[in-house]
Amino acid sequence: MTGSAIAHRLVASIQRVDARCATVEEFLTAVSGEVRKVVPFDGSMWFGVDPSTLLAAAPARLEHMDPSFCRSFWHGEFHDNDVLRFRDLARQPDPAGSLRTATDGKPLRSPRYRDFLRPQGYDDEVRVAFRTGTTTWAVAGLYREKGRRAFDADELKLLGSISHAVGVALRTRNVLHSPSARAIEALRAPGVLLFDAKGMLMSANLHARAWLREVYGPDLVEESWTSVLSERSTSPALRSYPAMWERVSQVLMLQALVSQAQAVALGYEDGPARLRCRSHDGRWVVLHASCMDETDPDSPTAVVIEPAQSAEVAPIIVEAYGLTPREREVLRSIACGLSTPEIAAELVLSAHTVRDYIKSVFEKVGVSSRGELTAKLFAEHYSDALHVSLVHV
């Protein structure tokens, strides 16, 4: 079978699992299984990202990876001058690349190879950005153990061939579904977590623990660490539970946000360190991180979790529907309450052309009237300031 035929079958299999999987977690599991059939690997990481910051967000799936290396992994993403960082891959023409190719067959040049792959017994890595157009919605890292052959060019093409299909599926699942009525009503005060200079969780208030349950699911916060986050969270006894604290940071993917905040404080990154994601019941959440003392690299890092305002959400929602620049202009005008003739005058278009753009927007969003459009984009995603924020999208 030719490479193009295999790629076609792989894309078709991704689309089938998308149709049958009820949750994002099931979808990632199924995608991993389908990919492994044609591109074998020994370990992997799959996670959604905030399309603006490319910080890791739920959902996530890790296979045969040692969680104790979580901090070094994210530290390298923001502090090391390495090849194939996710943010660089997202901007490259090809959505897939391998570490050995990027280092000209000399992987020891890569800090990630020395500090993350080799200690776990892995000898090559391929990274994939799952994107729609120029927007990345998820990324993956696949790993092969020492003694296995390196990922080749044909395998990179196969992985690149599913970039759009996986990107579309995750964009739809993570962004376009509406929050539940309970989620909209459940306004909660911000939560605060405090991490030490090594990225270890020091304390979390009650609201933070509640938010983490909503974002990452109760299964991840119950037996493994709930008891530690209670009365002992600020006690010296905390240090008796390093493995448990490490699990919290790793599983919840907060290390990426903390590492970026530390890099911002050191001047390696431009700020701010922030991440938007959705809770299990569909509501938008924003996480902000910053070092308590930017002049002291050993100072703690605070992470605030709170409900996302519409201005935070609007750019992702508009991007998710795949609107063209001109369609976005028409949408902004609709959000301002302009009539078709007024939109035509403002954009210097004919009324007929404006009606065509409005029809196209309706089709992409899945509505049939301006009222439905307003309700779907505004009411379902918190109406407080979305119509204002669209002016700046």
Please name each of the domains of the chain with its CATH number.
3-176 (3.30.450.40), 181-308 (3.30.450), 317-392 (1.10.10.10)
Q: What is the mean pLDDT of residues 245-262?
A: 68
CA separation for the pair 137, 47 (Å, rounded):
9
Taking Cα atoms as reference points, which of 386, 377, 392 lies closest to residue 176? 377
Q: Sheet of 43-49: strands edge to edge?
A: 56-63, 43-49, 135-145, 122-132, 96-98
pLDDT digits (tens, 9 = 90+) for 31-47: 999 999 999 999 999 98
Mean pLDDT, rounded, of the chain: 81
Cα 90–Cα 114–Cα 33 angle in degrees, nearest 5: 55
User: Residue 271, exposed/middle/buried by CB under 10 A (0-12, 13-18, 19+)?
Assistant: middle
At 31, the amino acid letter reads V
In angstroms, the CA 201 to CA 254 distance is: 10
Higher pLDDT, 343 or 314: 343
Q: Quick one: pLDDT at residue 217? A: 65
278: confidence class by pLDDT, cuts 50, 70, 90: confident
How far is 37 from 93, CA to CA, in rounded Å?
25
Residue 221: C-alpha distances to residues 124, 187, 244 (Å): 33, 21, 11
216 contacts: CB under 8 Å, gap ≥ 6: 58, 251, 252, 280
Cβ burial, residue 56 (10 Å; 0-12/13-18/19+): buried
Closest CA to 272 of 4, 38, 31, 50: 50
**Euclidean distance between CA atoms 155 and 236, whole angstroms:** 50
What's the whole-number mean pLDDT along residues 185-209? 81
Say yes or no to pLDDT of 144 above 90: yes
pLDDT at residue 379 greater than cutoff 60: no
Give the pair of three-digit tokens for residue 342.
């007024």
Please give the share of the chain, as a percent, with pLDDT higher than 90: 41
Q: What is the pLDDT of residue 125?
A: 98
Q: Which amino acid is at 13?
A: S
User: Dihedral (C-alpha) 144, 249, 284, 330: value to the nearest 10 degrees?
Assistant: -50
| Amino acid making up residue 180 | S
Q: Enter the pTM of the model.
A: 0.74
